[in-house]
Amino acid sequence: MTSDTQNNRAGDQGLFRAYLREFLRFDPPTIRRAALLNIISAGMEGAGLLMLLPLLTLAGVFDTEDSSFTVAHSLLSSLKLNWDFETALVFFVTLIAVQAWLMLLRDRVCRSLQLRFADHLKQRLYDAVAHSRWSYLTGRHSGEILNVLTSEVQRIGIGTYFLLRLSTLSLLALAYLSVAFRMSPPLALLALGTGLLLWLLLRSTDRASRESGILLGQANRDLLTRTQDFLSALKLIKIHGEEASHICQFNDAVTDVSRRFIDFQKSWTRAQMAYRMGGAVALAILSYSALTLMALTPARLLVMIAIFARMLPHLSEIAGGRQQLLHMLPAFSAWQNLLAACMANRDFPPARDEPAPLQDRIVLGRVAFRHPQSHLALTVEHLAIPAKKTTAIVGVSGAGKTTLLDLLSGLLAPDSGTIWVDGVALAELPGWRKSIAYIPQETLIQDGTLRDNLLWGNAAPTDNEIRCALEQSALFELTEKLTRGLDTPIGERGVKLSGGEKQRLALARALLRKPQLLILDEATSALDGDSHRQVLDTVRGLHGNMTILIVSHRHEELAGLIDGSVQVADGRVEPWRPAPGHR
Ligand SMILES: Nc1ncnc2c1ncn2[C@@H]1O[C@H](COP(=O)(O)OP(=O)(O)OP(=O)(O)O)[C@@H](O)[C@H]1O
């Protein structure tokens, strides 16, 4: 065995143990119930086989005093029934009906376990992603996260189905083997040895299963990231007439996923075929040995053949299930790695319900921050932003303005230095983000109605508050003109609204939060003169009610609106300066 193979096996075993731990911790009472149902149904299957002979004897098919059957005989006799052929048949049907009912219960419990476990993995990861640091999340493609949350977790769910199936099949095989041992220990040992030999021979498929699991994960990720990029750039793709090349790339990605899947199916069906063929040969050898070398009675031989004929398909299913588990382990590894990375990059504690007030000022002292792999380091020696004033953040493109805003909002944590809000360090202020409303250049509009968008992120505002926010953001007239008013659908990403309407909707939503700090990051850059002025008029109307930070390239239009400004140049942040005419 090469050291590579040994390492892979050790890796698989470690991964499998981690997966099993995760599964066993998930819902121990239901897992125990599934295990109990499994054990009882396997026990009944064994009992059914053990009673086959006495029943046939009682029915007059055989005449045997074989000691192996005395247990079953005495059990049947203790039922104090008048055993004839008809009673034997009724007994058999009842036994199978009870067993079928138990299997139904077991399958329901197992299916529900499988689905709920997959949901649990999704929810854990979603929670971890939601609480990860922004700086970490910006380094990952959302398609990659989506792939783990959907395809990979689905594959883990399928693997879990096979795990549960494997435990059922293993218990059944154990039940068959124990009956076989009772009939003929040497023959049972021979069967066990043949099964182990087959299993060892077919272990060579392990590597193929694992590798095809890895490749399928990569192909799925590629498909999802491409699809996401395509959908987000759809407008541009259509304007540039690039549909054909994107269709081609998509088709390649889809074909790649299918090919990976078919590759695994091929190796799986090949192994299944080898097992069945090996099983048939084993059955022939066993029957031959039983008849010639071990001189088994016809009664025993019949039971042994019945046992092996039922056990061999189970063995091939066990081997197939094992392959499916190996194929699934890379998906679990992807889930585990993403979860671990998110946990290692855990954000501040989640925001509490109460927003933090801002009455005096925000101060940054000796703050330094650098994005991973970025050439630019943001440095702030000392900056004090007064509360309830409107401040412009100015600087050329790439100077670091958005980075400064992200530090102020707590989205990014400084590498060194401290940010204080009214004298409290930001890291000690979990309610801070509840106090902020942020409007970026590319505002986020949800698919749904105007009302849905206004309510998004806001706890049940009153009709009066909604009307007030709409008036403040110059959107009230528009909603009055619409026949369905606030219940008008605005399409995915607000495609049925103009750019100006979208920004004003974002502004109204921001105002409903009643923020202490309102941040407008190039929120008006893409707007025409009128829309731009309307938004600025709203900001003017808010002056003195809250602290406002505004980044805009149209500095001249900010005159008369701002109380002061902060210059950012090449990552260096200058102190706050009052605007001409202000103190
Ligand atoms: N997530 C990120 N990862 C790595 N580098 C980043 C990231 N975000 C920004 N940067 C880098 O930091 C620098 C400052 O970016 P920032 O967005 O703060 O500039 P800006 O002044 O807001 O620019 P603009 O006016 O063009 O929006 C950029 O040069 C960019 O390369």
Assigned token pair, 306 = 């019945």
Best mean pLDDT range from 3-17, 81-95, 507-521: 507-521
Q: Considering only CA atoms, which of 432, 401, 448, 392 is closest in space to residue 513?
A: 432
Model pLDDT for residues 501-515, shown as the tens digit of each residue: 888 888 888 888 889
What does the alpha-carbon distance between residue 469 and residue 475 come to, in Å, rounded to a whole number? 8
541 pLDDT band (50/70/90 cuts)? confident
Q: Are strands 416-421 and 361-370 parallel, antiparallel or unpaired?
A: antiparallel
What is the DSSP track for 63-99? Answer: ----GGGHHHHHHHHHTT----HHHHHHHHHHHHHHH
Please give the pLDDT value at position 480.
Answer: 77
Q: What is the interface pTM, i.e. ipTM, of the complex?
A: 0.96
Q: Which atom of ligand 1 is nearest to the CA of 568?
A: 21
**What distance in angstroms lies between residue 555's CA and the mean position of ligand 1's atoms?**
20
Q: Considering only CA atoms, which of 522, 564, 572, 531 is closest in space to residue 547?
A: 564
564 pLDDT band (50/70/90 cuts)? very high
Model pLDDT for residues 190-231, shown as the tens digit of each residue: 778 877 887 777 777 777 888 888 999 999 999 999 998 898
Model pLDDT for residues 40-80, shown as the tens digit of each residue: 887 777 777 666 666 666 666 555 555 555 555 555 566 55
Contact predicate 34/106, CB 8 Å: yes
Please give the pLDDT value at position 51.
Answer: 66
138 lines ligand 1 (CB under 6 A): yes
What does the alpha-carbon distance between residue 468 and residue 458 come to, in Å, rounded to a whole number? 15
* CA dist list (Å): 375 to 24, 330, 398, 526, 571: 47, 35, 11, 27, 10
Assigned token pair, 145 = 């996260």
398 lines ligand 1 (CB under 6 A): yes
**What distance in angstroms lies between residue 185's CA and the mean position of ligand 1's atoms?**
75
- 10-19, 76-85, 154-163, 430-439: which range is least confident on average? 76-85
403 lines ligand 1 (CB under 6 A): yes
Q: How many CA atoms lie within 13 A of 294 on its CB side?
A: 20
Contact predicate 103/111, CB 8 Å: no
Best mean pLDDT range from 163-167, 179-183, 455-459: 163-167
What domains appear along the chain, each with residue ranges and CATH number? 16-344 (1.20.1560.10), 361-578 (3.40.50.300)
**What distance in angstroms lies between residue 547's CA and the mean position of ligand 1's atoms?**
24
Q: What is the length of the chain?
A: 583
pTM for this prediction: 0.77
**What distance in angstroms lies between residue 456's CA and the mean position of ligand 1's atoms?**
28
Q: Which atom of ligand 1 is nearest to the CA of 135?
A: 1
Q: Which atom of ligand 1 is nearest to the CA of 406?
A: 18
What does the alpha-carbon distance between residue 73 and residue 302 come to, in Å, rounded to a whole number? 17
Model pLDDT for residues 98-156, shown as the tens digit of each residue: 888 888 998 899 999 999 999 999 999 999 999 999 889 988 888 899 999 999 999 99
Model pLDDT for residues 155-166, shown as the tens digit of each residue: 999 999 899 888
Assigned token pair, 340 = 């671990």
Model pLDDT for residues 329-350, shown as the tens digit of each residue: 999 999 999 999 999 998 866 5
